[in-house]
Every structure is written in structure tokens, then in C-alpha cells.
């Protein structure tokens, strides 16, 4: 890890740069695959599954038999753990429901807002080196609470042509409509255009690597919405000498093991803590099964010493982390002052992995600085707000002249006429 002491604010943007490729580096590949899937549908999907996942499938649709076999192959202990996580996630997201908002803006002019579910959604669940069955819970549970009618799940097959048992169990538990063995760019393209096997959807959810992130962004050009840009995982910890160095190191490593392109950062006012954390990282990383992956991510990571909590907070808001852990005596300063973060974890006993799995909050979050403008996935991500209005005769008599005047000022005579005709009838009755 790179230790940086008291960097000048003018250097922050360079210091905090993510270790990711630019869109230009990979957009050409994404565009080519999209064009192929648009033209050739499932034939193209099958070709890219063979090319990228190393397996040729007779069918990429998961059968009921496969789901039943997967359920039988998940241990009872893990089923119980997933079920408890399910309940916590369901409880937190169900609490996000809001009532109809209704107001009379003036007598006889009634306006209200109601929420409706997005009917068709696609869930992308990464497989690869770590099949993320927890992401199934994070996406499918709020989708069901929202009332989405069709929930299509795509996840890449392994070399045996299977999706991880845990993913299939979680998908069944959450009531997913259809499960397809397809990953990467081709999965996003299939959900965007629709094929014989993959239904076209209205909105795509889920994290992925940089190729998936760019593919989701490209999908928006074809009228499909996405949850947010969610690429390689990242974590920033702010800690002072009140923090436990071993805890901090474990949190940094928990994100580093996601992938070689993950980034973890420690910001601290204590040089002694930074030294202790560095020693702990070196010790703990040797015991990780995914040591080689974590080492590559750690090489891109930073340990930053700053002179005060106020400087630290400004730096953190500039970085806009996906995950933000606070282990500081000055906890309230950070809790009240953070403006840009996907999800915040407070105190020595709140590891980031709690939010990844089972505390109840959602772990599908904006990365790469997008938390400056995007929220993480929540219940509203699966809903649309529709406005309604109803105007009485007296309401139009009062409001109509205002509308006429404004329409005339904009030179939109037909707009004015739509009101004038009605007012004339009301006045003549």
C-alpha cells in the first residue's frame, strides 16, 4: 500500500484516481457485442458464452429440476443464514414504502402522486471467482416488495454449465420469474434487446466488472434504464488512534479480495495507526484463500495521513466512496458532514461486510465517484412516481385565466385554446 502524508488538496484528484480503464478502452468491444446480439439474438449469446465462459450450453434457461437440485445441495446452516438475511433485508426495504402524496394546490385543483412498480426488470448477478448470491437478495427482495411483475435473472455459468447452487436457492427464495445462464456484456445486451430465451426488460440492476458497467451505460442509449454505474468495489476507512488496527486491516482486505481492480483507502490523523494497520494487512493477507487477488488490489490502494478531521472529511467527500467506514472519536463530524458516499458504517463494531450480507441495507451501490450524484439501490429504484390531477369546474374558473396568460406569453395558442373553450362553456352555462 502507498503511504501518503499530508497531501496538498490540489493533488487529491490524482492521488484518489481509481485503478480502472477508461470507457474508451473497452467501449468498442461492448458496442460490437451489442450489435451482434441485436442482429443475431440467442446465436450470438451462445457464441459469447462459449468464448468468454468456456462452455457450450444446450439450453441457457435454468430448469425447475436444476433449482430443486441446487436447493438440495445448499447446507441447512447456509439456508438458515440466507433466510435470516432475507428477513432483515425485507424488513428494511419494506419500511421504505411511502403513502400517496395528495394536496389541493388551490380550491378545486387536486394533485397527487402515486408509485407504481416497474413491470419488467433484469437482475445481473456476477459469477466469476465469487458467485454473489447475496446480490440476489439485495435486488430481488425490493423488486418483490415493489410489485414488479417480471424479474429476469442473468448470471454466468461455470465451466460445468451450472450457476452456483447458492444463487439458484436465493433466486427461488425471492420468487425470481426466470433465470438465464448468461453473463458479461452479452447478458446486458440480451436484457436490452430481448431474444427468444431472454425477455426484454425496462430496467437493469446489478454490479459487475468494467465491461458490464459500460454495457449498462450503453443499454440506456436503447431506452433501457439502469440502477446506477456500479463497477469495481471500493472502500474508504477513516480512523484515528481510537480505532482497532486489526479491525481496520480486516475491512480493507474484505474489499480488496473482491477483485484485482478493487480499491481500498485508509485516511487517518494518526501515523501510528497507519503503521499498525500496514503491519496487520501484511499479516492477515497471508492467510487469505484469495491472497493473490487481494495483493493486486492492495497494490493500488492508499494510506493517507492528514492533519485534521476537517481535512479528512473534505478529502472523503471529494473521493465519494462506495463504502465508507467511520472509526473515529469525532464520529459525529463525519456522520453529519458526509455528503458523498454510497453506504456508511459507523464504529468499531460495524464491519462493511455486515451491509454486504445481512444487516438489512442494500449493497448495490454507486462506485467510481458516482455517489456524488447517485443513490444506492433502494425500494424506490423499482418504482416510478406518477402524478395525477383533477380540476373541478370552479377550480378551472379560478386557474384557467392564469393558464391562458402563461400560454399566450409563450406563444402557444393551442394550449391557451384548450382552456378558453372550457371557460367559455362554463361561463355560458
Could you tell me which residues are annotated as the binding site for NAD(+)? 124, 186, 209
Closest CA to 154 of 180, 175, 178, 135: 180
Q: Residues 194, 178: contact at Cβ < 8 Å?
A: no
Contact status, residue 310 vs residue 330, Cβ threshold 8 Å: no
CA–CA distance, 383 with 390 (Å, rounded to integer): 23
Q: Does residue 172 have an active-site annotation?
A: no
Instruction: Write down the residue that cell numbers 469495481 correspond to.
Output: 232
Rounded Cα distance, 5 and 307, in Å: 9
122 near 152, Cβ under 8 Å? yes
- Of the residues 166, 234, 322, 352, which is catalytic? 322
Select which of 234, 323, 352, 363 is catalytic. 323
DSSP, collapsed to helix, strand or coil, labels residue 94 as helix
Q: Is 25 exposed, middle or buried (0-12, 13-18, 19+ CB in 10 A)?
A: exposed
Q: How many residues does the chain have?
A: 429
Q: Give the separation between CA 37 and CA 307, rounded to whole angstroms.
A: 53
Question: How deeply is 170 buried, as exposed, middle or buried, from its count of CB atoms within 10 A (0-12, 13-18, 19+)?
Answer: buried
Cross-strand partners of 385: 115
Buried residues in 339-357 as b, exposed as e (16+ CB within 10 A): ebbbbbbeeeebbbbebbb
Residues 6+ apart with CB under 8 A from 4: 15, 302, 303, 304, 305
Check if the beta carbon of residue 201 is closer than 8 Å to that of residue 224.
Answer: yes
Please provide the DSSP assignment of 185-197 as one string.
Answer: HHHHHHHHH--SS
Going by the annotation, the residues of the binding site for Zn(2+) are: 255, 258, 356, 415
Q: Do residues 362 and 378 lie in contact, with contact meaning Cβ atoms separated by under 8 Å? A: yes
| Binding-site entries for substrate | 233, 255, 258, 323, 356, 410, 415
Extract the annotated binding site.
Answer: 124, 186, 209, 233, 255, 258, 323, 356, 410, 415
Residue ranges of the alpha helices (H) in 348-410?
A: 352-357, 393-409
Q: Which residues pair with 302 in a beta bridge?
A: 2, 265
> Which residue, among 228, 124, 233, has the nearest Cα to 184 in the 3D structure?
124
Report how far apart, in Å, the C-alpha atoms of 90 and of each of 97, 132, 153, 160, 381 are.
11, 18, 19, 33, 15
Partners of residue 344 on adjacent β-strands:
324
Burial label, 304 (beta-carbon count in 10 A; 0-12, 13-18, 19+): buried
Q: Which residues are known catalytic residues?
A: 322-323
Amino acid at each position: 500500500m502507498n503511504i501518503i502524508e499530508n497531501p496538498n488538496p490540489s493533488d487529491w484528484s490524482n492521488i484518489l484516481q481509481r485503478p480502472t480503464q477508461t470507457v474508451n478502452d473497452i467501449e468498442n468491444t461492448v458496442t460490437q457485442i451489442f450489435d451482434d446480439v441485436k442482429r443475431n439474438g440467442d446465436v450470438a449469446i451462445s457464441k459469447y458464452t462459449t468464448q468468454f465462459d468456456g462452455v457450450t450450453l444446450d439450453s441457457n434457461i435454468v430448469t425447475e429440476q436444476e433449482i430443486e437440485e441446487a436447493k438440495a445441495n445448499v447446507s441447512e446452516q447456509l439456508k438458515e443464514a440466507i433466510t435470516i438475511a432475507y428477513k432483515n433485508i425485507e424488513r428494511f426495504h419494506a419500511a421504505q414504502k411511502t403513502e400517496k402524496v395528495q394536496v389541493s394546490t388551490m380550491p378545486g385543483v387536486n394533485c397527487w402522486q402515486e408509485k407504481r412498480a416497474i413491470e419488467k426488470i433484469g437482475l445481473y448477478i456476477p459469477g466469476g471467482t465469487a458467485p454473489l448470491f447475496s446480490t440476489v437478495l439485495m435486488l430481488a427482495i425490493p423488486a418483490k416488495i415493489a410489485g414488479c411483475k417480471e424479474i429476469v435473472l442473468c448470471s454466468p455459468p461455470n465451466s460445468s454449465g451450472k450457476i452456483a447452487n447458492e444463487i439458484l436457492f436465493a433466486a427461488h427464495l425471492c420468487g425470481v420469474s426466470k433465470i438465464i445462464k448468461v453473463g458479461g456484456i452479452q447478458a446486458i445486451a440480451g436484457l436490452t434487446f430481448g431474444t427468444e430465451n431472454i425477455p426484454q426488460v425496462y430496467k437493469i440492476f446489478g454490479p459487475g466488472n468494467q465491461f458490464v458497467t459500460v454495457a449498462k451505460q450503453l443499454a440506456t442509449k436503447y431506452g433501457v434504464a439502469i440502477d446506477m454505474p456500479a463497477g469495481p468495489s471500493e472502500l474508504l476507512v477513516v480512523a484515528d488512534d481510537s480505532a482497532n488496527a486489526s479491525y481496520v486491516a480486516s475491512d480493507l482486505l474484505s474489499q480488496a479480495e473482491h477483485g484485482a481492480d478493487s480499491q481500498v483507502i485508509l485516511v487517518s490523523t494518526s501515523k501510528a495507526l497507519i503503521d499498525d494497520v500496514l503491519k496487520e494487512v501484511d499479516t492477515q493477507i497471508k492467510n487469505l484463500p484469495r491472497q493473490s487477488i487481494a495483493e493486486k488490489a492492495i497494490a493500488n490502494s492508499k494510506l493517507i495521513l492528514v492533519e485534521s478531521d476537517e481535512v479528512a472529511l473534505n478529502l472523503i467527500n471529494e473521493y465519494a466512496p462506495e463504502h465508507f467506514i467511520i472509526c473515529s472519536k469525532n464520529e459525529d463530524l463525519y456522520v453529519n458532514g458526509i455528503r458523498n458516499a454510497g453506504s456508511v458504517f459507523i464504529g468499531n463494531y460495524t464491519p462493511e461486510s455486515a451491509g454486504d450480507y445481512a444487516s438489512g441495507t442494500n449493497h448495490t451501490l454507486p462506485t467510481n465517484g458516482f455517489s456524488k450524484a447517485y443513490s444506492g439501490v433502494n425500494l424506490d429504484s423499482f418504482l416510478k412516481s406518477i402524478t395525477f390531477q383533477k380540476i373541478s369546474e370552479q377550480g378551472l374558473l379560478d386557474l384557467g385565466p392564469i393558464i391562458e396568460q402563461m400560454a399566450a406569453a409563450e406563444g402557444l395558442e393551442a394550449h391557451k385554446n384548450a382552456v378558453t373553450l372550457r371557460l367559455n362553456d362554463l361561463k355560458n352555462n
